[in-house]
Amino acid sequence: MATPDRNKFKIGDYVRKHEGYNFQGEIRAVYTTRLGYTRYVVEVIYPGFEGWQHIFNEEQLIPWKLQHRE
């Protein structure tokens, strides 16, 4: 169940995909599927792809520290 006290990440957290293709961004939504799995909507923060969103499960993500761009 997607409840704030049980989820590894919360809306506003910065994360990155730890395997495979490069994907780093901000958690924009957290929800539970009909089968009870927690999913995270991550909005990409990457030049040329800003605004794209992708859905991930918790095991695909690790915390990421946003580097401020000038």
Do strands 14-17 and 24-32 pair parallel, antiparallel, or not at all (unpaired)? antiparallel
pLDDT at residue 20 in the model: 86
SS3 percent helix, strand, coil of the chain, rounded to 5, is 5, 40, 55
pLDDT beyond 80 at 69: no
Domain boundaries along the sequence of the chain:
14-63
- Domain topology for 14-63: SH3 type barrels. (2.30.30)
Give the pLDDT confidence of 12-68 residue by residue, as tens digits.
999 999 998 888 999 999 999 999 999 999 999 888 888 899 999 999 999 999 776
